[in-house]
Structure 1
Amino acid sequence: MAFNDGPRRAAVLGSPIAHSLSPVLHRAAYAELGLDHWSYDRFEVDERTLPGFIEGLDGTWAGLSLTMPLKRAVIPLLDEISDTAASVEAVNTVILGQDGRRTGDNTDIPGIAAALRERGVETVESAAILGAGATASSALAALAGFCTGPVTAYVRSAARADEMRGWGERLGVDVRTADWSDADRALTEPLVIATTPAGAADALAGAVPESPGTLFDVLYEPWPTALVARWSAAGGAVVGGLDLLVHQAVLQVERMTDTRPAPLAAMRAAGEGALGVPRAV
């Protein structure tokens, strides 16, 4: 079967998964590209059920998007992973070759960089990251390409601080750590990347400086967050979680369908429509 002949399938896997916007974005891309024979679904899959799910895929499958808690659990099930994915030991994209090979990639890292470039952030002298989870390590990997100075990670435990310093050494980023109780200091940096769960950074809204730089909040719902609303009101530039979601999905569509470029504008419009709220803040 030729790559673009006959039915082709893709899906997003994770747990929980019902909230995922990935089907909306990918289906919008297929419609715009005229890929009527492509379908994209979502499946509730956790670490325990992941091996069986992957083994059950047939030749119609082209790719998978992975969210938590599968980004590391999938690695032993793959034939190879890209250098990008290996750099943070996290795979959010699996390309299923028609020869049966399973290749893991990470589109979060270039997605973060692309979302920032779109808003005019090409280089910064220093940055701050709020949080220390999987998204924080991807943010560090992205910053390796355009932050010329130190990155300070604000974390809640010594173990998390050790992890972030370890990622910094691995990625070639000068990472410094500070306690979450001092996170208001992060807001004076030219670039702040908030990777925390909903509500975790709300208390920082009152500490936004008079002339803030750029805030990248990886959340897309609820939107705007309290921090984003205050930041924007003070005149700071804002990059949102929908920006990241769309840019990483664009790369997934291109790699799964072997079609370039993916329709960024159509995918973003579909995401905005699904959220049902204006994105300007």
Structure 2
Amino acid sequence: MAAAHRAAVLGSPIAHSLSPVLHRAAYAELGLGHWSYERFEVDEAALPGFMSTLDAGWAGLSLTMPLKRAVIPLLDEVSDTAAAVEAVNTVVLHEDGCRTGDNTDIPGMIAALRERGVEKVEAAAVLGAGATASSALAALARICAGPVTAYVRSEARAEEMRGWGERLGVDVRTAAWDDAAQAFDAPLVIATTPAGTTDTLASAVPPRPGTLFDVLYDPWPTALAAAWSEHGGKVVGGLDLLVHQAVLQVEQMTGVPRAPLAAMRAAGERALAAR
């Protein structure tokens, strides 16, 4: 009988997380009946204690806010991708006891865009300046040939985004949030803001928009995504990102060469429809 393996998603709040749905769907499709995936409410203060309890039965962890940076000092190795944005969303626990961290959000964004036919763009815009925005810049470093304009609410946030641009090799220009509708002239717009933030921008979507990547998935569609679709633009959603980054997590944690993307997406869609 195969040894049991455990994995889980940690964060605070965590009750809303779709990660258990996606990972369990992968295990079912792959016939990994000896694998389990749970969720745990863990904040920054509790993280070291939780990590200290993990035994040899644990294979991996998915991390959401506010743990992506807090976990870094607790790891033995961190990938270049994760180090570039100081954010780890994936921890793999190896048999030799080594704990490695990675960031699958960045390649997940690239894969989600590629799935919709977006492989290279000449320019882009980012709405927001939080942790997801830095991952967006890291993804754009690989697919955007020209400048990226970040629309932010304060000069402090603008300075942060320009700093990330310097670190990641991206030509980041900043603009005030009040001018965010100008972002829609770009061939690719990545919205990284909390639910409801971009709703007032929906009426400003132009007649022939490019591609919108809205990282939200619940509620879906957002007002902006709905307006974008109505005007004939391509829309990539938060569920696309969540599934693609989870595919990479499953592959890293289990060692399978290819996780079942379609089964995982279908499970996510059913779970969202039931909410």
Could you tell me which residue of structure 1 aligns to residue 4 of structure 2?
A: 7
Could you tell me which residue of structure 2 aligns to residue 154 of structure 1?
A: 151
Could you tell me which residue of structure 1 aligns to residue 54 of structure 2?
A: 57
Q: One-letter code of the match for 2:227?
A: R
- Following TM superposition, the consecutive aligned residue runs of length 4 or more in structure 1 with deviations greater than 3 angstroms are none
Residue 129 of structure 1 aligns to a residue whose secondary structure is strand
Q: 1:115 aligns with which of 95, 112, 115?
A: 112
Superposition deviation, residue 188 in structure 1: 1.2
1:84-127: CA deviation from partner (whole Å, max 9, x where unpaired): 00010000000001111110000000000000000000110000
Residue 142 of structure 2 aligns to a residue whose secondary structure is coil
Residue 63 of structure 1 aligns to a residue whose secondary structure is strand
Q: Does structure 1 residue 179 correspond to structure 2 residue 176?
A: yes
Q: Does structure 1 residue 19 correspond to structure 2 residue 34?
A: no
How far, CA to CA, are the matches of 1:141 and 1:172 in structure 2?
A: 9
Superposition deviation, residue 153 in structure 1: 0.2
How far, CA to CA, are the matches of 1:99 and 1:267 in structure 2?
A: 30
Q: Does structure 1 residue 251 correspond to structure 2 residue 248?
A: yes
Alignment of 1:227-246 (within 5 A): 227-246=224-243
How far, CA to CA, are the matches of 1:139 and 1:118 in structure 2?
A: 17
Structure 1, unmatched stretches of 5+, are: none
1:5-57: CA deviation from partner (whole Å, max 9, x where unpaired): 31000000000000000000000000000000000000000000000000001
Residue 10 of structure 1 aligns to a residue whose secondary structure is strand
Q: One-letter code of the match for 2:159?
A: D
TM-score by length of 2: 0.99
Residue 145 of structure 1 aligns to a residue whose secondary structure is helix
Q: One-letter code of the match for 1:192?
A: V
How far, CA to CA, are the matches of 1:211 and 1:276 in structure 2?
A: 29
How far, CA to CA, are the matches of 1:226 and 1:180 in structure 2?
A: 18
1:40-78: CA deviation from partner (whole Å, max 9, x where unpaired): 000000000000000001100000000000000000000
How far, CA to CA, are the matches of 1:7 and 1:123 in structure 2?
A: 42
Q: One-letter code of the match for 1:133?
A: G
Superposition deviation, residue 158 in structure 1: 0.6
Superposition deviation, residue 268 in structure 1: 0.1
How far, CA to CA, are the matches of 2:25 and 2:129 in structure 1?
A: 32
Cα RMSD after superposing both structures: 1.1
Q: Does structure 1 residue 170 correspond to structure 2 residue 162?
A: no
Q: Does structure 1 residue 79 correspond to structure 2 residue 80?
A: no
How far, CA to CA, are the matches of 1:179 and 1:215 in structure 2?
A: 19
Superposition deviation, residue 260 in structure 1: 1.5
Q: 1:97 aligns with which of 74, 94, 99?
A: 94
Residue 125 of structure 1 aligns to a residue whose secondary structure is coil
How far, CA to CA, are the matches of 2:143 and 2:191 in structure 1?
A: 17
Superposition deviation, residue 182 in structure 1: 0.3
Q: One-letter code of the match for 2:219?
A: P
Q: Does structure 1 residue 223 correspond to structure 2 residue 220?
A: yes
TM-score by length of 1: 0.97
Superposition deviation, residue 259 in structure 1: 0.3
How far, CA to CA, are the matches of 1:146 and 1:26 in structure 2?
A: 28
